[in-house]
């Protein structure tokens, strides 16, 4: 086989193994889903498409339409998009709570706590109306009771309907009553939306971190497909030459930039040396001569990515109650309380809680890696 034909065949095989086969085996199959889920999938697709269009046309919407203002965050959004955004937030939370009915107890508890925060912001018009507050509380307590009753039971299509009804009753009913003087001269929909997004941020950030691991999995799968395919000497030297040429080009383009500095190069070399040394220590502890093959790593990533991602956003969990109280103080006209909470939040955030938290998480993960290596669980250790 000639070198060009071999290159084409190699590229085709790599694309097939890296993209085609994973998509073919992992794509959604609505015909195999339980009753009711295909319709939910269609609704999610339509809603996602509308939100994507709102993003694409964000500039015309902001320039050509009226904007509404959230006093709790000073953010503005186009008035035309507020109903769509509220629908997206509520529908997302309905799906999350329904899924949590059949999840672990800690996830159910976390979602119920977050749900209380969402109801808190959506019930902003009821803060001075005890009757409406009681309605929201009763419906949300009914949701808690339903969650406890349905926990660990088999999936039923009507669960989504019940959860949606209870959540919508707890969040939307206060908006059907006359607001009176409770609006404080602002569009409270933006405040409710802002608070709900802050509450759901604890769920959104881990999901984004997990989704960000997809490129790493693609790289590992592609590298495994490339390394495992037998190639001729001509193709090997061709690929080697292309790699060297590409390295030279990107190095030349990076000369003089802020990213390619002596300190950055030294830092990268230190990180590479530390990682290599750590892998060597783990191999020595597990009595392995070589690390496991790349193909085995994606299999265990799925079980660890979400817990690690959740641990990385613990700072958001700590700050959420303070943000809720600050938003309440801002809306009801207590600037002194809001300023005091802001000062406390700034003091907390100025001391790099995220960096310190990730450092502590790194130590915990390092201890786990050493323990896994001692049990010969090298895939998880590495």
Can you give the pLDDT at residue 165? 92
Q: What is the pLDDT of residues 45-91, one digit of tens each?
A: 999 999 999 888 888 888 887 787 676 666 778 888 888 888 888 89
How far, in Å, CA of 351 to CA of 259, rounded? 25
How far, in Å, CA of 287 to CA of 159, rounded? 51
Q: What is the pLDDT of residues 91-112, one digit of tens each?
A: 988 888 888 888 777 778 877 8
- Is residue 20 in some structural domain? no
Same domain, 208 and 269: no
How far, in Å, CA of 133 to CA of 140, rounded? 11
Same domain, 174 and 320: no
| pLDDT, averaged across the chain | 77
Same domain, 77 and 182: yes
Same domain, 266 and 199: no
Q: What is the pLDDT of residues 123-152, one digit of tens each?
A: 766 666 667 777 888 888 999 899 888 887
- Is residue 357 in some structural domain? yes
DSSP secondary structure string for all residues of 97-115: HHHHTTS-HHHHHHHHHHH
How many percent of the chain have pLDDT more than 90? 4
* 262 within 8 A of 352, measured Cβ to Cβ: no
Domain boundary among 190, 212, 234: 212
- Is residue 344 in some structural domain? yes
More confident residue, 180 or 337: 337
Indicate the pLDDT class of residue 355, thresholds 50, 70 and 90.
confident
- Is residue 255 in some structural domain? no
Q: Which residues contact 221 (CB under 8 A, 6 or more apart)?
A: 17, 18, 22, 295, 298
Same domain, 346 and 201: no
- Is residue 217 in some structural domain? no
Same domain, 61 and 187: yes
- Is residue 156 in some structural domain? yes
pTM of the model: 0.68
Same domain, 149 and 273: no
Same domain, 72 and 163: yes
Same domain, 198 and 57: yes
Same domain, 195 and 304: no
The residue behind tokens 């590479």 is: 272
Indicate the pLDDT class of residue 298, thresholds 50, 70 and 90.
low
Q: Which domain holds residue 317?
A: 261-382
Domain boundary among 155, 178, 212: 212
- Is residue 16 in some structural domain? no
Indicate the pLDDT class of residue 292, thresholds 50, 70 and 90.
low
Same domain, 79 and 208: yes
Same domain, 312 and 203: no
DSSP secondary structure string for all residues of 21-36: HHHHHHS--GGGSPTT
Residue 301 has pLDDT above 80, yes or no: no
Domain boundary among 171, 187, 212: 212
Q: Please report which helix (H) or strand (E) contains residue 68, including its range.
A: strand 67-69
User: To the nearest 10°, the Cα dihedral for 251, 255, 260, 265?
Assistant: 70
- Is residue 174 in some structural domain? yes
Q: What is the pLDDT of residues 5-44, one digit of tens each?
A: 766 776 777 777 777 777 777 778 888 888 888 888 899 8
Structural domains of the chain, count: 2
Q: How many CB atoms lie within 10 A of CB 351?
A: 10
């Amino acid at each position: 086989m000639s070198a060009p034909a071999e290159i084409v065949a190699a590229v085709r095989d790599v694309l097939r193994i890296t993209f085609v086969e994973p998509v073919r085996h992992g794509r959604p199959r609505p015909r195999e889903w339980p009753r009711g889920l295909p319709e939910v999938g269609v609704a999610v697709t339509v809603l996602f498409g509308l939100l994507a269009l709102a993003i694409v046309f964000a500039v015309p919407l902001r320039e050509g339409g009226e904007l509404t203002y959230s006093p709790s965050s000073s953010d503005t959004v186009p008035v035309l998009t507020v109903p769509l955004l509220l629908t997206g937030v509520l529908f997302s939370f309905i799906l999350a709570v329904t899924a949590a009915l059949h999840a672990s107890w800690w996830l159910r508890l976390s979602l119920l706590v977050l749900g209380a925060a969402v109801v808190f912001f959506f019930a902003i018009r009821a803060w001075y109306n005890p009757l409406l507050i009681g309605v929201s509380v009763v419906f949300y307590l009914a949701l808690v009771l339903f969650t406890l009753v349905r926990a660990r039971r088999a999936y039923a299509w009507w669960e989504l309907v019940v959860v949606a009804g209870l959540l919508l009753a707890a969040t939307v009913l206060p908006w059907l009553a006359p607001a009176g003087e409770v609006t404080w001269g602002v569009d409270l929909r933006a405040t409710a939306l802002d608070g709900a997004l802050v509450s759901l941020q604890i769920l959104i950030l881990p999901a984004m971190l997990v989704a960000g691991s997809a490129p790493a999995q693609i790289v590992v799968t592609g590298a495994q497909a490339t390394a495992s395919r037998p190639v001729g000497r001509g193709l090997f030297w061709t690929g080697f030459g292309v790699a060297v040429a590409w390295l030279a080009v990107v190095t030349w383009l990076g000369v003089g930039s802020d990213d390619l500095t002596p300190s950055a190069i030294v830092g990268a070399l230190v990180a590479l040396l530390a990682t290599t040394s750590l892998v060597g220590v783990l191999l020595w502890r597990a009595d392995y001569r070589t690390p496991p093959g790349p193909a085995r790593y994606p299999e265990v990533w799925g079980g660890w990515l979400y817990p690690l991602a959740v641990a990385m956003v613990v700072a958001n969990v700590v700050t959420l109650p303070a943000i809720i109280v600050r938003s309440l103080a801002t809306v009801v006209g207590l600037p002194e309380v809001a300023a005091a909470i802001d000062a406390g939040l700034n003091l907390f955030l100025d001391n790099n809680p995220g960096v310190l938290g990730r450092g502590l998480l790194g130590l915990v993960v390092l201890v786990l890696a050493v323990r896994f290596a001692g049990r010969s669980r090298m895939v998880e250790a590495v």
